[in-house]
Chains A and B, each alone.
Chain A
Amino acid sequence: MTTIIKNLQTSWLKYATIGISGLIAAFIVTLLALIVTRPTLEGLITSITSSEIHFAIMLSLSTALISTILCIVIGVPAAYALARYSFRGKNIVNALLDMPLALPPLVAGLGLLLFFGTTGFGMGLAEMGLEFVFTPLGIIVAQWFVNMPFMLRIMRSTFESINPRYEYVAKTLGCSDPQALWRVTLPMSANGLFAGSVITLAKGIGEFGAALLLAGAIQWKTETLPIALFLNMSCGNLNMAISAATILIIISITALYIFEKFGGSSRF
């Protein structure tokens, strides 16, 4: 007993801080448990297997998958440039590319809505059949825009951690610049690319604010999982809302696990 008191006296900071972190962890578990234990198991299963939730799952997955591919195709080259080359205005470009990270998704969505809905460029695209306002295409663009900085930052730090001399050696052995990137640097970045994709995919599935403004919340049309949660909650359909939330929780936990397991070296 006395030793416990003695310990408390000598290292109260240690126990106090550990206590705080424990409380936060407990709070998170409580919230998650409250959500998944709210409906009866039977009600939950009925909702999860309903065709509306199926539609939301499929729409969320497919839009997130496409927006992730877009993030890779556009984000990886940009990250490479920022990691490898020095150019005028690099700092400004760096800061601007990180901007969507700090921007509230609603504001990003508003900007996207104005861009695709009111400018000549956006209307031109719409005339060509690429309609982004209140369509699933809008969901993809919203996810892409909001998640791009994550891919960019992870890949930038991944590329920066690879000594450029690997590419130098590859070039003396017969590679052109793109070949050296393709055969050496990209394979060496596989972990970072994987971690970046998992984060982008998971965040894409959960994207709400920007997608809400650009693509709207239209049942059976732009109804992703978060939108399904929002719509069903609004009209008091608690079981449906919670089943959407439960699926989102499962996706988050899975993504976090994969990220921690494989993306451990990439920090952003």
Chain B
Amino acid sequence: MLQIQNLSKDMGEFFLKNVTLDIEQGEYLVIIGPTGAGKTILLETIAGIYPPDSGTIILNGKDITHLPPKERNICVVYQDYMLFPHLTVEENIGFGLVLKKMPKDEIKKRVTDAAKLLSIDQLLHRYPDTLSGGEQQRAAIARAMVMDPVLLLLDEPLSALDGQTREMLRKELRRLHALYNITIVHVTHNFEEVFALADRVAVMNEGDIVQCGVPDEVFRKPNCSFIANFTSVENIFRGTCTSQEGASAIDVNGLTIISSTCKGNGEVYATVRPEDILLSREPVQSSARNSFKGTITDIVNNGMVIRVTIDTGIPFVSVLTRQGFDSMNLKEGEDIYLTFKASAVHVF
């Protein structure tokens, strides 16, 4: 649907270097990378804000490399909303439709529909600076959605929001994507957004896309040390969740992990921080609800801490202090018990 070929753009501090990327119709692509990786400039070049130094952008078979933004029908939503402060929410959402010279009653209808879709229809007469962050971002999304764009670009749309609002809006994005089958490219530095939203993830570093694929594959099998280090999300498991009286049981390859975060039934991701996993020679009697036996497959000395990988059918990583490691005298190939609390399991 969108083919980006060898796209380069040098803007000094930020740059793109031979970026090649294919985006499928209806896909939710998340681009993740560290600050300064060139994520935003890639989005803005796709939107037509900057002409690229070289390379081509093909949208639905048409070369749009040098088309002005207004002829692309690609919309952008930024982290800081960028709602026009001198216009009401209604005028903001209808901004693009007015430029299209659409009849007034048609604009009114579409704006109201979009506002209802994002549950901000009570706020239409208000000015942006009287809205909360979450409301402003909903308005910004409505302003883009009302244009019926062929491609929606989201530049860290959830980064400025607090935890709860972020989660709600994340669900909203998933719902909108499912509802309209709209093609979305979403830039972030937040891993949860990758797992919660992405059909595919592209990892960006120093102006280039270093790996692109389904999230599981990219995080499990990073193709270079940059991704391994950058992602370094250990103990991520994909499994099926079933609710159990205030907790949930996640079945991961036959192993059942209990979590106190409840997410309802279905496919989920669960993570456990390595430092929350307790290792012991004998099974521990405690209130912790997760206890497994496994074999040590790898021990890495990082100086400050020792990382131990244990295979229990699925690989767990635990970290020990130097002192703790010495007193346990662990060796590769030995059997060991690992224990962690249900509250240490984060589900999303």
Contact = CB atoms under 8 A, between A and B. Distances in A.
Nearest to B94: A173
A175 interface: yes
Given A187-B86, A188-B85, A190-B86, A172 B47 contact: yes
B82 A163 contact: yes
Nearest to A179: B99
A193 to B, nearest CB: 12
B84 A174 contact: no
Given A187-B86, A188-B86, A171 B68 contact: yes
Contacts of A172: 47-49, 69-70, 72, 74-76
B85 A174 contact: no
Given A163-B80, A168-B49, A179-B99, A173 B143 contact: yes
B69 A171 contact: yes
B55 interface: no
30 contacts: A163-B82, A165-B78, A165-B82, A166-B82, A168-B69, A169-B76, A169-B78, A169-B143, A170-B84, A170-B95, A171-B48, A171-B70, A172-B48, A172-B49, A172-B72, A172-B74, A172-B75, A173-B75, A173-B95, A173-B143, A173-B147, A174-B70, A175-B70, A175-B99, A176-B70, A184-B84, A187-B84, A187-B86, A188-B84, A190-B86
A147 to B, nearest CB: 27
Interface string B62-93: 00000011101011101010101110000000
A170 B68 CA distance: 12
Nearest to B74: A172
A169 B258 CA distance: 45
Contact of B82 (A169, A176, A187): A169
A171 B96 contact: no
Contacts of A163: 80, 82
Interface residues of B, number: 23
A159 B44 CA distance: 21
B84 A168 contact: no
Nearest to B99: A174
Nearest to A173: B96
B221 interface: no
Nearest to A189: B86
A163 B80 CA distance: 10
A237 to B, nearest CB: 50
Interface string A222-252: 0000000000000000000000000000000
A240 to B, nearest CB: 46
Interface in B215-241: none
B100 interface: yes
Contacts of B80: 163, 165
Contacts of A171: 48-49, 68-70
Given A169-B76, A172-B48, A190-B86, 17 more contacts: A163-B80, A169-B78, A170-B84, A171-B48, A171-B69, A172-B75, A172-B76, A173-B75, A174-B100, A174-B147, A176-B68, A176-B70, A179-B99, A187-B84, A187-B86, A188-B84, A188-B85
